[in-house]
Structure 1
């Protein structure tokens, strides 16, 4: 299995985020990707290559063009306003406020294009976001070209980014861009399976009204967990997408036995949808030692997950998402991949 990776992700570093009660150093660290890459090498998963450069044409099919312009220009506007440090929002539009037109001021723009204060910006953020997008598209190209599987070692992650907003450490929705590229490359149907602890609200937002891309997610119950306002079991899609969205929320404290039962339900839904290719949003913050999560999976469980995914018999693109128990992230994330490979 080839891995696509770029060291340029490290430019997104030193930013802070808002957590309950404090502004703290971001949990989403450059070391996450480096530890995963080192583990890929250590187990001999396969070649590691840098991404090709891609333009934003496909991204503009799943994200609003004005939002992409904002991402590319936010740091320059922040500096032009005489600011330093981390650019983050502090005010958001709510129902009853004008939420249809972006403000002119940088502070208003930051809130307009964000769902939270977790996707913050420093000087190197845009370059890292853009190359993470390139990683996903390059790995998708490998699968479209006939590879059984490929691993997009994306950082920053992407599944909380919606069509017109950032959030949860996510800016461009890498899995969604990859899925769209696979559709354009000839796949009649694509399934996205999100196994991150947190619901991929951005992926759902992007494809909710489409019937050609199925979105299935196994995640923590949003009644008690981020992102709170999306990810419930009754969200089944709308219009052409009705029935193509499946959420499987699970309670705090879920262990592997209960989690793998939910994965079986997800797998059966994917079989019924009969996609030509599978995109897996790989989050390993389901691990019992994760500092911001409440599931109880353990390291030996992740290869089992990979083997279950292999049993679907589909060309598969793995896209890196969350996981913040940094020292364990490599063994856990790569465990999914080696399990898929039968190692």
Structure 2
């Protein structure tokens, strides 16, 4: 199988369920091979140029891999089109758990800081209600944004040109639509945005989320926290950002790069755990002495839950990727 056919097949199966990819890839490859051999039988089979030309003709006859994937898909994807469906699912898997964890942490911190006597029932009720609202809002925003983006994309194998003419899908479009590369770039961009937000957390005033009355609008972080802790935090984030930049430039994430990223994720989790257990990281006015230990435990558990979930999600996606 040539590199061109391999890329084409990868683009088709990238839009299909993991369990069916291998069988469908083999079927499409066999179909392409048979079509090429049949056509070469009518010409000079020894000509490499002729073989390459015939291969391109066959691929263009099969058409846009996104549309071809629809013929093999058992699950209709009407809300979000097949071109945007992979990044839509990836965004949900990434954003929704992050929103849930951050909402839970924010509610726990605010409730403990503002309630003289903490009651577990009241804490759970407030937290669950606000978390459900945040998840529904995040889901709606993701769906709307990607849905609008899908409508601005080419929705078929042809596109209209001035005068009503149609431009047929060609092999030249294949490289621009390399599904795996596009998804890797999209993930890298989203991760970089997320890291920028994490880097800004020590600088964000509490007044931005309407709890500035608790500590005069200062930051969430204890102003007496040593500078070394902040520099270490930003340094680890910078290293993690370098990994994402490499993914963005290469449009690929090799095993070595993923291992390095995993090591950095665990290092960050260890760093934050040590900081939380040995230092007063949160601003003192945001911490109720009676609930300080609960805050620490919940925050540490949340950090490791995010890291473990992130590693499972990353390696599963890497294994699924063609």
Superposed pair shares fold, TM > 0.5: no
* Structure number with bigger Rg: 2
TM-score (ref. length: structure 1): 0.25
TM-score by length of 2: 0.26
Higher strand share: 1
